Amino acid sequence: MERPAELLKNVQIVEQEIKATSAAVDSSKSVRLVCISKLKPASDVLALYEAGYRHFGENYVQELIAKARELPKDIQWHFTGGLQTNKCKDLAKNIDNLFSVETIDSAKKAKKLNDTRGEKPIVNVYIQVNTSGEDQKSGVKPGKDLEDLARVIVKECPKLKLLGLMTIGSFANSTSQKENQDFRTLSECREQLPPEFGQLELSMGMSNDYIQAIKQGADTVRVGTTIFGQRPQNNGH
């Protein structure tokens, strides 16, 4: 099969699963699929773009900048990688069509992104929450740290819009068939935030666990491997 046809087949399967699952959970709700194209060629993104897909996610700042430069300007880019404070400016200044940064986990990063965005459009952000408590995972702790960061974004960052909460969760939880404890924790984090933050979305679920994530209330799922296949080794990043 030609590559574009293969990608289209894969993404349509994912989309059907999303529709079937979300219809069973809440028929009024539509779940956003973000196609995670990190380490895959721009031609893969373009193939899906031409089939009508617009939301794509990338994990490496330089790779995202290069793809955003080359690809159509109405793509809605999500940054989903680990974010360093000193890279916030590159993201903010180079990508007009940056739909969201999903991995904000400190006030410093939020402010840096805000302060360097200039006249470009507002960027949606998700606060990444470390729901599994694993040391190696990024994200703020649930509770006061989360609430404090949400307040900084809403009160001090006019170029950012707080869209929701995001988690990756532990590998063990992503492969078990039961209710996912990390997704439950993310959902509880949202419930515990005061109403001043409005109705926040949940970004959770990847190739292994997006169906379970939708069952537990995901508004956005981030799927890479099931659409694009295995990624090459991440040399050079």
Ligand X SMILES: *Cc1c(COP(=O)(O)O)cnc(C)c1O
What is the binding site for ligand X (CB under 6 A)?
A: 36, 38, 59, 80, 168, 206-208, 222-226
Q: What is the smallest separation between the CB atom of 18 and ligand X, expressed in angstroms? A: 13
Q: What is the smallest separation between the CB atom of 148 and ligand X, expressed in angstroms? A: 23
Closer Cβ to ligand X, 170 or 226, answer by number: 226
| Residue written as token pair 């989903």 | 80
Closer Cβ to ligand X, 196 or 237, answer by number: 237
Residue 45: CB atoms within 10 A of its CB come to 23
Q: How far is CA 21 from CA 25, 37, 114, in A?
A: 6, 23, 36
Closer Cβ to ligand X, 104 or 223, answer by number: 223
Q: What is the smallest separation between the CB atom of 225 and ligand X, expressed in angstroms? A: 3
Residue 7, Ramachandran bin (φ over 0: left; ψ between -120 and 50: alpha; else beta):
alpha
- Distance CA(160)–CA(33), nearest Å, equals 22
Closer Cβ to ligand X, 156 or 175, answer by number: 175
Q: What is the smallest separation between the CB atom of 134 and ligand X, expressed in angstroms? A: 14
Q: Determine contact, residues 140/127, Cβ cutoff 8 Å.
A: yes
DSSP state of 193: S
Q: What is the smallest separation between the CB atom of 222 and ligand X, expressed in angstroms? A: 4
Closer Cβ to ligand X, 120 or 133, answer by number: 133
